[in-house]
Homo-oligomer: A and B are copies of this chain.
Amino acid sequence: MDRATTPTRPAGRPRSSVDATVFAATLDTVHQLGYAHATVDRIAAAAGVAKTTIYRRWPSKGALITACLVDAFGPAPLTGASREEIMSTAIRWIAAKIGEPGIGAAFAGVFTDAVNDPALRQLLSAQLQDPYQLALQEALGEPEKRVLFFIDVVVGTLLHRMGMTGEPMDDADVDALVEMVLLTLR
């Protein structure tokens, strides 16, 4: 196991750097078994790590999944010559991400858990939604309320399709979604 090498290393045994391994095992397990059956025990086993090690890093399953999604999404590509192009690129990017194996199910699952867990809802909002919302606000020059509305529309639509069919939205419908949002953005 490789180690975390910090400039000022504190005393004691250093934490083994297992984040990447655990994230990969998490997505893999969710992909294969679904969110509900992807227990922390199974994720730990798949990562070759003890369950206690996971709970030392993330305080709950929801927090683990959230961190995993933040890692998987990375920064949004808010590129384009116009606001329309930026919005179009962003929608297609999130649609593609949600279509990746494990990510859509993990997203729908943690969202679902968050509905009845205010602490998790706040975490999800702060870690996953706020950064993209702020970046979009900046890139589009739209007020917060309007950007939040667009996020509800795009992410809600994609997750609803994923939840009802078990499959990510096909390209034709993603095109329709882009078109619909652009008509309103203009």
Contacts and interface: CB of A to CB of B under 8 A. Distances in A.
Chain A interface extent, by class: 35 or more
A141 interface: no
A121 to B, nearest CB: 7
A157 B152 contact: yes
A71 interface: no
Interface string A28-70: 0000001111000000000000000000000000000000000
A101 to B, nearest CB: 15
A116 interface: yes
Contact of A116 (B37, B124, B153, B159): B37
Copies in the complex: 2
Interface in A128-161: 129, 145, 149, 151-153, 155-161
A176 interface: yes
A46 to B, nearest CB: 17
Interface of A: 34-37, 105, 108-109, 111-118, 121, 124-125, 129, 145, 149, 151-153, 155-164, 166, 169, 173, 176-177, 179-181, 183-184
25 contacts: A34-B116, A105-B115, A105-B116, A108-B115, A109-B112, A111-B164, A112-B112, A115-B162, A115-B163, A121-B163, A125-B164, A151-B160, A152-B157, A152-B160, A153-B153, A153-B157, A153-B177, A153-B180, A155-B160, A156-B156, A156-B157, A156-B160, A179-B184, A180-B183, A183-B184
Given A108-B115, A109-B116, A180-B181, 17 more contacts: A34-B116, A36-B116, A37-B116, A105-B115, A111-B112, A118-B166, A121-B166, A149-B176, A152-B161, A153-B157, A153-B177, A156-B156, A156-B158, A156-B161, A176-B184, A179-B184, A180-B180
